[in-house]
Structure 1
Amino acid sequence: DVPALVVEYDNEAGAHAVTSHLLGAGHRRIALLGYEPGNTTGEDRLAGFLRALDDHGVPRGDAVLHGTGFGQNHGYEAMRDLLRKADGRPDFTAVFAGDDRAAAAAVVALREYGLRVPEDMSVVGYNDDPVAGDITPGLTTVHIPAEEMGRTAVRRALSGSPRAGQERHVLGTHIVIRDSVRRVRG
Protein backbone atom coordinates (compact mmCIF):
# COMPACT_ATOMS: atom_id res chain seq x y z
CA ASP A 1 0.00 0.00 0.00
CA VAL A 2 1.19 3.45 -0.92
CA PRO A 3 0.63 5.95 1.91
CA ALA A 4 -2.03 8.48 0.98
CA LEU A 5 -3.42 11.63 2.51
CA VAL A 6 -7.11 12.19 1.77
CA VAL A 7 -8.95 15.37 2.76
CA GLU A 8 -12.59 15.45 1.73
CA TYR A 9 -15.98 16.70 2.84
CA ASP A 10 -19.01 14.69 3.90
CA ASN A 11 -21.11 14.49 0.73
CA GLU A 12 -23.66 12.17 2.29
CA ALA A 13 -24.30 14.42 5.30
CA GLY A 14 -24.64 17.50 3.07
CA ALA A 15 -27.14 15.75 0.80
CA HIS A 16 -29.06 14.49 3.83
CA ALA A 17 -29.22 18.01 5.28
CA VAL A 18 -30.41 19.77 2.12
CA THR A 19 -32.95 17.02 1.37
CA SER A 20 -34.20 17.26 4.96
CA HIS A 21 -34.57 21.02 4.42
CA LEU A 22 -36.85 20.35 1.43
CA LEU A 23 -38.80 17.72 3.36
CA GLY A 24 -39.14 20.12 6.29
CA ALA A 25 -40.69 22.64 3.89
CA GLY A 26 -43.37 20.07 3.04
CA HIS A 27 -41.98 18.65 -0.21
CA ARG A 28 -42.58 14.92 -0.66
CA ARG A 29 -41.95 14.39 -4.39
CA ILE A 30 -38.38 15.52 -5.02
CA ALA A 31 -36.40 15.07 -8.23
CA LEU A 32 -32.69 14.34 -7.80
CA LEU A 33 -30.68 15.49 -10.81
CA GLY A 34 -27.02 15.03 -11.42
CA TYR A 35 -25.92 12.05 -9.43
CA GLU A 36 -23.59 9.91 -11.50
CA PRO A 37 -23.68 6.14 -10.97
CA GLY A 38 -20.16 4.85 -10.35
CA ASN A 39 -18.95 8.25 -9.13
CA THR A 40 -18.29 8.22 -5.37
CA THR A 41 -19.37 11.85 -4.98
CA GLY A 42 -22.67 11.14 -6.73
CA GLU A 43 -23.20 7.86 -4.89
CA ASP A 44 -22.60 9.53 -1.51
CA ARG A 45 -25.05 12.31 -2.36
CA LEU A 46 -27.63 9.76 -3.51
CA ALA A 47 -27.15 7.84 -0.24
CA GLY A 48 -27.72 11.01 1.80
CA PHE A 49 -30.80 11.87 -0.26
CA LEU A 50 -32.30 8.40 0.23
CA ARG A 51 -31.44 8.35 3.95
CA ALA A 52 -33.27 11.67 4.40
CA LEU A 53 -36.35 10.22 2.68
CA ASP A 54 -36.18 7.21 5.02
CA ASP A 55 -35.70 9.40 8.10
CA HIS A 56 -38.78 11.46 7.18
CA GLY A 57 -40.96 8.47 6.34
CA VAL A 58 -41.17 9.29 2.63
CA PRO A 59 -41.22 6.18 0.42
CA ARG A 60 -38.18 5.98 -1.84
CA GLY A 61 -40.54 5.27 -4.72
CA ASP A 62 -41.84 8.84 -4.43
CA ALA A 63 -38.43 10.19 -5.49
CA VAL A 64 -37.66 11.02 -9.10
CA LEU A 65 -34.08 9.98 -9.87
CA HIS A 66 -32.38 11.25 -13.01
CA GLY A 67 -28.72 10.23 -12.99
CA THR A 68 -26.95 12.26 -15.62
CA GLY A 69 -23.68 13.55 -14.23
CA PHE A 70 -22.82 17.00 -12.99
CA GLY A 71 -22.57 20.46 -14.51
CA GLN A 72 -24.55 22.96 -16.51
CA ASN A 73 -25.31 20.88 -19.61
CA HIS A 74 -26.36 17.85 -17.58
CA GLY A 75 -28.64 19.90 -15.33
CA TYR A 76 -30.30 21.65 -18.24
CA GLU A 77 -30.84 18.49 -20.29
CA ALA A 78 -32.04 16.46 -17.29
CA MET A 79 -34.57 19.12 -16.29
CA ARG A 80 -35.83 19.50 -19.86
CA ASP A 81 -36.13 15.73 -20.16
CA LEU A 82 -38.23 15.48 -16.99
CA LEU A 83 -40.40 18.43 -18.06
CA ARG A 84 -40.87 16.99 -21.55
CA LYS A 85 -41.97 13.63 -20.10
CA ALA A 86 -44.47 15.45 -17.85
CA ASP A 87 -45.81 17.68 -20.65
CA GLY A 88 -44.51 20.67 -18.69
CA ARG A 89 -46.56 19.77 -15.61
CA PRO A 90 -44.29 17.76 -13.32
CA ASP A 91 -45.75 15.92 -10.34
CA PHE A 92 -42.71 16.75 -8.18
CA THR A 93 -42.47 20.04 -6.29
CA ALA A 94 -38.73 20.29 -5.70
CA VAL A 95 -35.43 19.63 -7.45
CA PHE A 96 -32.14 18.73 -5.76
CA ALA A 97 -29.43 19.22 -8.38
CA GLY A 98 -26.06 17.55 -7.89
CA ASP A 99 -24.18 20.84 -8.08
CA ASP A 100 -24.95 24.54 -8.34
CA ARG A 101 -24.22 24.80 -12.07
CA ALA A 102 -26.73 22.01 -12.72
CA ALA A 103 -29.22 23.76 -10.42
CA ALA A 104 -28.81 27.10 -12.21
CA ALA A 105 -29.31 25.37 -15.57
CA ALA A 106 -32.39 23.59 -14.20
CA VAL A 107 -33.81 27.02 -13.28
CA VAL A 108 -33.31 28.13 -16.90
CA ALA A 109 -35.11 25.02 -18.19
CA LEU A 110 -37.98 25.54 -15.73
CA ARG A 111 -38.38 29.15 -16.92
CA GLU A 112 -38.48 27.98 -20.54
CA TYR A 113 -41.51 25.90 -19.55
CA GLY A 114 -43.14 28.87 -17.82
CA LEU A 115 -42.40 27.62 -14.29
CA ARG A 116 -41.16 29.99 -11.60
CA VAL A 117 -38.68 29.32 -8.80
CA PRO A 118 -39.68 29.03 -5.99
CA GLU A 119 -43.39 29.72 -6.62
CA ASP A 120 -43.90 26.69 -8.88
CA MET A 121 -40.80 24.63 -8.12
CA SER A 122 -38.22 24.72 -5.33
CA VAL A 123 -34.61 24.15 -6.40
CA VAL A 124 -31.49 23.44 -4.33
CA GLY A 125 -27.89 22.84 -5.36
CA TYR A 126 -24.59 21.72 -3.90
CA ASN A 127 -21.11 23.30 -3.53
CA ASP A 128 -22.04 26.96 -2.86
CA ASP A 129 -20.40 28.04 -6.11
CA PRO A 130 -20.57 31.79 -6.89
CA VAL A 131 -23.43 31.16 -9.35
CA ALA A 132 -25.64 30.13 -6.40
CA GLY A 133 -25.59 33.66 -5.04
CA ASP A 134 -25.49 35.40 -8.42
CA ILE A 135 -28.71 34.08 -9.99
CA THR A 136 -32.24 35.16 -9.15
CA PRO A 137 -33.55 33.80 -6.96
CA GLY A 138 -30.43 32.93 -5.00
CA LEU A 139 -30.03 29.16 -4.65
CA THR A 140 -30.24 27.35 -1.36
CA THR A 141 -27.21 25.08 -1.45
CA VAL A 142 -24.71 23.02 0.52
CA HIS A 143 -21.49 24.88 1.31
CA ILE A 144 -18.36 22.79 0.95
CA PRO A 145 -15.25 23.82 2.89
CA ALA A 146 -12.91 24.14 -0.11
CA GLU A 147 -10.44 26.52 1.55
CA GLU A 148 -10.37 24.46 4.74
CA MET A 149 -9.71 21.34 2.66
CA GLY A 150 -6.70 23.00 1.07
CA ARG A 151 -5.34 24.28 4.38
CA THR A 152 -5.82 20.88 6.04
CA ALA A 153 -4.13 19.04 3.18
CA VAL A 154 -1.12 21.37 3.19
CA ARG A 155 -0.85 21.32 7.00
CA ARG A 156 -1.00 17.50 7.12
CA ALA A 157 1.42 17.10 4.21
CA LEU A 158 3.95 19.44 5.82
CA SER A 159 3.68 17.67 9.17
CA GLY A 160 5.23 14.51 7.76
CA SER A 161 4.24 11.48 5.76
CA PRO A 162 0.98 9.70 6.55
CA ARG A 163 1.00 6.49 8.50
CA ALA A 164 1.13 3.26 6.53
CA GLY A 165 -2.01 3.07 4.47
CA GLN A 166 -4.37 5.98 4.14
CA GLU A 167 -4.79 9.00 6.38
CA ARG A 168 -8.30 10.34 5.89
CA HIS A 169 -9.82 13.61 7.11
CA VAL A 170 -13.53 14.25 6.54
CA LEU A 171 -14.73 17.84 6.94
CA GLY A 172 -18.29 18.97 7.56
CA THR A 173 -20.64 20.91 5.31
CA HIS A 174 -23.55 23.24 6.01
CA ILE A 175 -26.60 24.57 4.21
CA VAL A 176 -26.72 28.14 2.92
CA ILE A 177 -30.36 29.25 2.87
CA ARG A 178 -31.27 31.62 0.06
CA ASP A 179 -34.56 32.20 -1.78
CA SER A 180 -35.12 29.12 -3.97
CA VAL A 181 -37.25 27.02 -1.60
CA ARG A 182 -40.87 27.63 -0.73
CA ARG A 183 -43.00 25.92 1.86
CA VAL A 184 -45.75 23.74 0.40
CA ARG A 185 -49.02 22.87 2.05
CA GLY A 186 -49.40 19.29 3.24
Structure 2
Amino acid sequence: MPFDSLTPDESTPFRIIFVCTGNICRSPMAEVVLRDLVTKLGLGRLIATSSAGTGDWHVGEQADGRTITALAKRGYDGSHHRARQFDPLWFAEHDLVVVLDRSQERILRNWALEDRDRAKVRLLLSFDAEQAPLLDVPDPYYSDDALFDAVLGMIERASHALVKQLAPAIRQGVR
Protein backbone atom coordinates (compact mmCIF):
# COMPACT_ATOMS: atom_id res chain seq x y z
CA MET A 1 0.00 0.00 0.00
CA PRO A 2 1.64 3.26 -1.06
CA PHE A 3 1.60 5.93 1.60
CA ASP A 4 1.25 8.67 -0.98
CA SER A 5 -2.47 7.87 -1.20
CA LEU A 6 -3.28 8.65 2.45
CA THR A 7 -6.14 10.89 3.43
CA PRO A 8 -5.40 12.03 6.94
CA ASP A 9 -7.29 14.71 8.74
CA GLU A 10 -7.97 15.30 12.40
CA SER A 11 -11.56 14.06 12.21
CA THR A 12 -10.57 10.78 10.57
CA PRO A 13 -7.08 9.72 11.61
CA PHE A 14 -5.06 7.10 9.78
CA ARG A 15 -5.93 3.92 11.67
CA ILE A 16 -3.35 1.21 12.30
CA ILE A 17 -4.09 -2.04 14.09
CA PHE A 18 -1.32 -4.41 15.18
CA VAL A 19 -2.17 -8.12 15.26
CA CYS A 20 -0.35 -11.02 16.89
CA THR A 21 -1.62 -14.36 18.17
CA GLY A 22 -3.13 -13.71 21.60
CA ASN A 23 -2.86 -9.89 21.87
CA ILE A 24 -0.94 -10.05 25.14
CA CYS A 25 2.74 -9.78 24.07
CA ARG A 26 3.85 -8.42 20.70
CA SER A 27 0.85 -6.49 19.38
CA PRO A 28 0.27 -4.58 22.64
CA MET A 29 3.97 -3.65 22.59
CA ALA A 30 3.64 -2.36 19.03
CA GLU A 31 0.46 -0.44 19.83
CA VAL A 32 2.00 1.28 22.84
CA VAL A 33 5.32 2.02 21.11
CA LEU A 34 3.74 3.50 17.99
CA ARG A 35 1.22 5.54 19.98
CA ASP A 36 4.06 6.98 22.08
CA LEU A 37 6.16 7.72 19.01
CA VAL A 38 3.42 9.51 17.04
CA THR A 39 2.42 11.48 20.14
CA LYS A 40 6.00 12.69 20.62
CA LEU A 41 6.11 13.67 16.92
CA GLY A 42 2.88 15.68 17.22
CA LEU A 43 0.95 13.23 15.03
CA GLY A 44 -1.21 11.74 17.78
CA ARG A 45 -4.43 13.23 16.42
CA LEU A 46 -3.61 12.07 12.90
CA ILE A 47 -2.62 8.45 13.56
CA ALA A 48 -4.69 6.11 15.75
CA THR A 49 -3.28 2.80 16.99
CA SER A 50 -4.90 -0.31 18.39
CA SER A 51 -4.17 -4.02 18.61
CA ALA A 52 -5.82 -7.43 18.55
CA GLY A 53 -5.04 -11.11 18.31
CA THR A 54 -6.05 -13.80 15.87
CA GLY A 55 -7.05 -16.08 18.76
CA ASP A 56 -9.56 -15.60 21.54
CA TRP A 57 -7.69 -17.28 24.40
CA HIS A 58 -6.88 -14.09 26.29
CA VAL A 59 -9.82 -11.80 25.44
CA GLY A 60 -10.34 -9.32 28.26
CA GLU A 61 -7.02 -10.02 29.95
CA GLN A 62 -4.22 -7.55 30.58
CA ALA A 63 -1.05 -7.81 28.58
CA ASP A 64 1.35 -10.47 29.82
CA GLY A 65 3.18 -9.24 32.92
CA ARG A 66 6.51 -9.59 31.12
CA THR A 67 5.17 -7.33 28.36
CA ILE A 68 4.14 -4.69 30.87
CA THR A 69 7.53 -4.95 32.61
CA ALA A 70 9.54 -4.73 29.37
CA LEU A 71 7.52 -1.68 28.31
CA ALA A 72 7.88 -0.01 31.73
CA LYS A 73 11.67 -0.49 31.72
CA ARG A 74 11.77 1.68 28.59
CA GLY A 75 9.30 4.28 29.82
CA TYR A 76 6.08 3.01 28.24
CA ASP A 77 2.80 2.25 30.01
CA GLY A 78 1.10 -0.95 28.87
CA SER A 79 -0.98 -1.42 32.01
CA HIS A 80 -4.29 -0.33 30.51
CA HIS A 81 -4.29 -2.88 27.68
CA ARG A 82 -7.06 -5.48 27.43
CA ALA A 83 -6.75 -8.28 24.89
CA ARG A 84 -9.30 -8.68 22.12
CA GLN A 85 -9.71 -10.80 19.02
CA PHE A 86 -9.55 -9.30 15.55
CA ASP A 87 -12.93 -9.17 13.83
CA PRO A 88 -12.83 -9.36 10.01
CA LEU A 89 -15.34 -6.48 9.93
CA TRP A 90 -12.53 -4.29 11.27
CA PHE A 91 -10.80 -4.25 7.89
CA ALA A 92 -13.22 -1.48 6.89
CA GLU A 93 -12.29 0.53 9.99
CA HIS A 94 -8.50 0.34 9.53
CA ASP A 95 -6.14 1.71 6.93
CA LEU A 96 -3.25 -0.59 7.80
CA VAL A 97 -3.25 -4.02 9.48
CA VAL A 98 0.25 -4.74 10.75
CA VAL A 99 1.00 -8.33 11.70
CA LEU A 100 3.94 -9.59 13.72
CA ASP A 101 4.57 -12.83 11.86
CA ARG A 102 3.63 -14.80 8.77
CA SER A 103 1.06 -16.94 10.56
CA GLN A 104 -1.06 -13.86 11.30
CA GLU A 105 -0.41 -12.63 7.78
CA ARG A 106 -1.88 -15.86 6.35
CA ILE A 107 -4.84 -15.86 8.73
CA LEU A 108 -5.80 -12.24 8.12
CA ARG A 109 -5.40 -12.45 4.36
CA ASN A 110 -7.71 -15.47 4.47
CA TRP A 111 -10.22 -13.56 6.62
CA ALA A 112 -10.20 -10.62 4.20
CA LEU A 113 -13.05 -10.80 1.70
CA GLU A 114 -11.64 -8.25 -0.73
CA ASP A 115 -8.25 -7.64 -2.34
CA ARG A 116 -8.33 -4.10 -0.93
CA ASP A 117 -8.41 -5.52 2.59
CA ARG A 118 -5.76 -8.16 1.87
CA ALA A 119 -3.49 -5.35 0.66
CA LYS A 120 -3.77 -3.65 4.07
CA VAL A 121 -2.02 -6.59 5.77
CA ARG A 122 1.72 -5.99 6.19
CA LEU A 123 4.46 -7.59 8.26
CA LEU A 124 5.87 -5.14 10.82
CA LEU A 125 9.47 -5.93 9.97
CA SER A 126 8.82 -5.16 6.29
CA PHE A 127 9.01 -1.46 7.15
CA ASP A 128 12.61 -1.75 8.41
CA ALA A 129 15.10 -2.60 5.66
CA GLU A 130 17.62 -4.07 8.11
CA GLN A 131 15.12 -6.33 9.87
CA ALA A 132 12.93 -7.17 6.86
CA PRO A 133 14.88 -10.35 5.98
CA LEU A 134 13.90 -11.79 9.38
CA LEU A 135 10.21 -11.55 8.38
CA ASP A 136 8.82 -12.48 11.80
CA VAL A 137 9.02 -10.90 15.22
CA PRO A 138 9.48 -13.94 17.48
CA ASP A 139 6.75 -14.73 19.98
CA PRO A 140 8.32 -14.37 23.45
CA TYR A 141 5.40 -15.99 25.31
CA TYR A 142 7.20 -19.28 26.07
CA SER A 143 10.55 -17.63 26.72
CA ASP A 144 12.24 -15.38 29.27
CA ASP A 145 12.43 -11.68 30.07
CA ALA A 146 15.45 -11.27 27.82
CA LEU A 147 13.44 -12.24 24.75
CA PHE A 148 10.65 -9.82 25.73
CA ASP A 149 13.28 -7.06 25.86
CA ALA A 150 14.76 -8.13 22.52
CA VAL A 151 11.32 -8.28 20.89
CA LEU A 152 10.53 -4.81 22.20
CA GLY A 153 13.75 -3.55 20.62
CA MET A 154 12.78 -5.06 17.28
CA ILE A 155 9.34 -3.48 17.52
CA GLU A 156 10.79 -0.07 18.40
CA ARG A 157 13.13 -0.13 15.40
CA ALA A 158 10.40 -1.25 13.00
CA SER A 159 7.97 1.32 14.42
CA HIS A 160 10.45 4.12 13.82
CA ALA A 161 10.87 2.88 10.25
CA LEU A 162 7.09 2.73 9.78
CA VAL A 163 6.63 6.29 11.03
CA LYS A 164 9.52 7.47 8.85
CA GLN A 165 7.58 6.17 5.82
CA LEU A 166 4.16 7.27 7.04
CA ALA A 167 4.80 10.71 8.55
CA PRO A 168 5.61 12.67 5.38
CA ALA A 169 2.32 11.67 3.75
CA ILE A 170 0.39 12.34 6.97
CA ARG A 171 2.03 15.75 7.42
CA GLN A 172 1.34 16.76 3.84
CA GLY A 173 -2.29 15.68 4.07
CA VAL A 174 -2.03 13.81 0.78
CA ARG A 175 -5.16 11.94 -0.21
Q: Shorter-chain TM-score: what band?
A: 0.3 to 0.5
Query: What TM-score, normalized by structure 2, do the two folds share?
Result: 0.41
Instruction: Select the structure that is richer in helix.
Output: 2
Q: Which has more radius of gyration?
A: 1
TM-score scaled to structure 1, two decimals? Answer: 0.39
